[in-house]
Amino acid sequence: MQLKKKGDSAQIGGINQFMVTLKWTSAMDFDLCAVYETRDGKEGIVYYADQGDLNSFPHMQLSDDEGVGDTGGDNQEDLRVMNLAPMNKIYVFCWDYTAVENGSIARFNNSDISVNIIDDNGKQYNCSLDNNNEGNVVCMAEIDNSSPLGARFTNRSSVGKLNGLENLSQLLAVAKGI
Amino acid sequence: MKSFRNIADIRFSPDKSGESQILAKIPGLRDWGSQSDLQDYFKLSLGADSLKVTEELFPREFKIYHEVVQTLGLNKDKHEFYVSGENMRNAYIFSSKDNSQMVMSTELLSLLDDDELRFVIGHEFGHFLCKHSRIPTRLLAEHEEVDDEFKLDLLKWSRCAEISADRYGVLCCGKLDSSLSALFKVAFGMKPKSLSALRSSMRNQYNALSQLAKKRTDDSDLLSSRTHPIIPLRCVAVEVTFMDIQSFKTANSWNKSAISFIDRELLEIIENLI
């Protein structure tokens, strides 16, 4: 299912495991990153410097870094989530970490970034960036697991500009469009 | 139904490297499985003890077998499926260069639903596609003249080969729960009461074993004579690669760098314990 517009969403139901894939072909060093909120109020991040763990909390793990040194081609980074049950929300980000560190603008608009989710029933959902604003970090998608009806996948396309990353609230503010 | 361009890509990477090392040590093995006299002998014994699966005799099995043949892009005229009456849960494949004979016991067949059967047939074809029968593991592992260190390498490779074959099973089955319940039924001969309980139980056992594997002791060797990895490892290996395989099925491309850390971890457990 394609979620092309900001705000488009799909009910993905009672899934427990899924894989998030960030894809792009342009010669840029983007990274996939995820921020999570658990049902009991914990917050955390999985990114290139802390790739997570499949066997213990947070039961999610990021693949190795791709596109290092602005390499073009079929760049792809994956995040496996093995246990969604304790999570309330997971926000999926794409950033240019160098640009985040020095406050410069990333070239999202010249790229073709998209996020794909494949769940443990084999169903796939895809969302593309629907925002032309300038920035260096974009919250591409949200997986909302707070409803008893099951998880919902939403195209957030929320762009922000950070000048150094000091805490998770900065990323959550981008995700929530604050 | 489409077939896959790079179907060999999903193979567990230590299976491939292990096979190369073994074949380098005994180059004559390259042609072992394709000897026509061996194949004739196998066909003769099949004809004597087993029944060929035909549409009239085994309609469900015939249909599913041919669906899997088509999924994997194989030539249906070169592959045969037999049912044996042996009193155990068993499935195996005898393969040569471009043809194969698969055998499944009626005891196993009667346990499996359609999706689980797709998994088991896909698993056996995985052995064919990876040409695993080139290395007669059991024969060599029991041979007096083969040194002990090489025997351990052979058995380790054999366990890696099963991980590869499971990936082809998943590819053909397409459902995580059915793939896991197929593994459970083959191992324990019964239906799991709850699939979510099965998943968490397998993961807990896997975690306990991986901790043991990390502090390897002499007792670790107790399990090193196994040709198949233990079931918790196989279940977790299927679980963590399921979505990669589904993604491969749709996009026909395999992200090697994404799977490499999974392969490294599985190999560590296989090397150190099971």
Count how many domains chain A has.
1
Pick from A19, A54, A122: CB nearest B175: A122
Contact between A109 and A51 under an 8 Å Cβ cutoff? The reply is no
- pLDDT, chain A, mean: 90
Interface size between A and B, measured as CB pairs under 8 A: 61
Q: Is A122 on the interface with B (CB under 8 A)?
A: yes
pLDDT in tens, B7-19: 888 999 999 999 9
Pick from B176, B246, B260: CB nearest A64: B260
Beta strand pairing status for A31-38 and B79-84?
Answer: unpaired
The Cβ-side half-sphere exposure at A109, using a 13 Å CA radius, reads 7
- Chain B partners of A18 at a C-beta cutoff of 8 Å? 243
Contact between A99 and A106 under an 8 Å Cβ cutoff? The reply is yes
Determine the average pLDDT of the residues in B101-130: 96
- Chain B partners of A77 at a C-beta cutoff of 8 Å? 258
Angstrom distance (rounded) from CA B205 to CA B209: 6
Q: Which residues contact B128 (CB under 8 A, 6 or more apart)?
A: B79, B93, B95, B100
- Chain B partners of A82 at a C-beta cutoff of 8 Å? 203, 239-240
- The answer to whether residue A102 is domain-embedded is yes
DSSP helix/strand/coil, B104: strand
Q: Beta-carbon neighbour count of residue A128 at 10 Å?
A: 18
| ipTM for the predicted complex | 0.70
- The answer to whether residue A90 is domain-embedded is no
Q: Which two tokens stand for residue A106?
A: 């990333």
pLDDT range class, residue A65, cuts 50, 70, 90: low
pLDDT range class, residue B230, cuts 50, 70, 90: confident
Angstrom distance (rounded) from CA B120 to CA B137: 20
Q: Check whether A73 has a pLDDT greater than 80.
A: no
Axis crossing angle, helix B231-251 with helix B195-214, rounded to the nearest 10: 110
Q: Would you list the DSSP string of A105-141?
A: ----TTS--EEEEEETTS-EEEEE-------SEEEEE
- The answer to whether residue A88 is domain-embedded is no
Angstrom distance (rounded) from CA A104 to CA B59: 65
pLDDT range class, residue A37, cuts 50, 70, 90: very high
- The answer to whether residue A151 is domain-embedded is yes
Pick from B210, B249, B257: CB nearest A66: B257
pLDDT in tens, B43-100: 778 877 899 999 999 999 999 999 999 999 999 999 999 999 988 999 999 988 788 9
Which of B60-64, B199-203, B242-246 has the highest average model confidence (pLDDT)?
A: B60-64
Determine the average pLDDT of the residues in B123-128: 97
Shortest CA gap A178–chain B (Å): 33
CA triplet B166, B135, B169: central angle to 5 degrees?
Answer: 10
- The answer to whether residue A89 is domain-embedded is no
Name the residue of chain A whose CA is nearest to B211's CA.
Answer: A55
Q: Which residues contact B197 (CB under 8 A, 6 or more apart)?
A: none
Q: What's the length of chain A?
A: 178
Q: Is the peptide bond before B27 cis (omega within 30 degrees of 0)?
A: no
Pick from A56, A118, A120: CB nearest B247: A118
Q: Check whether A95 has a pLDDT greater than 70.
A: yes
Q: Which of B209, B255, B259 to mutate to test the interface with A (most CBs of A within 10 A)?
A: B255
Shortest CA gap B246–chain A (Å): 6
Would the CA dihedral through B196, B198, B201, B205 be positive or negative? negative
Question: Measuring CA to CA, how many Å separate B264 from each of B119, B196, B235?
Answer: 24, 26, 16
Question: Measuring CA to CA, how many Å separate B65 from each of A99, B70, B236?
Answer: 54, 9, 26
Can you say whether residue B232 is alpha, beta or left, with left for phi > 0 and alpha for psi between -120 and 50 degrees? Answer: alpha
Range of the domain at A168: 2-83+95-175
pLDDT at B95: 86
pLDDT range class, residue B2, cuts 50, 70, 90: low
First vs last Cα of chain A: how many Å apart?
28
Which secondary structure element, helix H or strand E, spans residue A36, and what is its range?
strand A31-38
Pick from B199, B240, B250: CB nearest A80: B240
DSSP helix/strand/coil, B18: helix
- With an 8 Å Cβ cutoff, are B210 and A17 in contact? no
pLDDT at B269: 76
Determine the average pLDDT of the residues in B110-116: 96
In chain A, the percentage of residues whose pLDDT exceeds 90 is 64
- With an 8 Å Cβ cutoff, are A63 and B250 in contact? no
Angstrom distance (rounded) from CA B200 to CA A48: 27
- The answer to whether residue A113 is domain-embedded is yes
- The answer to whether residue A164 is domain-embedded is yes
Q: Would you list the DSSP string of B157-194?
A: HHHHHHHHHHHHHHHHH--HHHHHHHHHHHHHSS--S-
Among A119-128, B103-112, B133-142, the range scoring the smallest mean pLDDT is B133-142
Angstrom distance (rounded) from CA A42 to CA A57: 11
Q: Is A167 on the interface with B (CB under 8 A)?
A: no
Determine the average pLDDT of the residues in B231-245: 90
Would the CA dihedral through B261, B267, B268, B270 be positive or negative? positive
Q: Which two tokens stand for residue B175?
A: 């459902």
- The answer to whether residue A20 is domain-embedded is yes
Q: Check whether B274 has a pLDDT greater than 60.
A: no
Contact between B191 and B181 under an 8 Å Cβ cutoff? The reply is yes
Shortest CA gap A96–chain B (Å): 19
Determine the average pLDDT of the residues in B35-44: 72
| Phi, psi of A80, deg, nearest 5 | -95, 135
Shortest CA gap B114–chain A (Å): 16
CA triplet B244, B247, B248: central angle to 5 degrees?
Answer: 85
Pick from B239, B246, B261: CB nearest A122: B246
Determine the average pLDDT of the residues in A96-108: 92
Can you say whether residue A59 is alpha, beta or left, with left for phi > 0 and alpha for psi between -120 and 50 degrees? Answer: left
pLDDT at B217: 60
- Chain B partners of A48 at a C-beta cutoff of 8 Å? none
- With an 8 Å Cβ cutoff, are B261 and A64 in contact? yes
Predicted TM-score (pTM) of the model is 0.83
pLDDT at B18: 92
- With an 8 Å Cβ cutoff, are B258 and A56 in contact? no
- pLDDT, chain B, mean: 86
Indicate the residue type of B225.
S
Q: Is A26 on the interface with B (CB under 8 A)?
A: no
pLDDT in tens, A25-35: 888 889 999 99
Q: Which residues contact B268 (CB under 8 A, 6 or more apart)?
A: B210, B213, B214
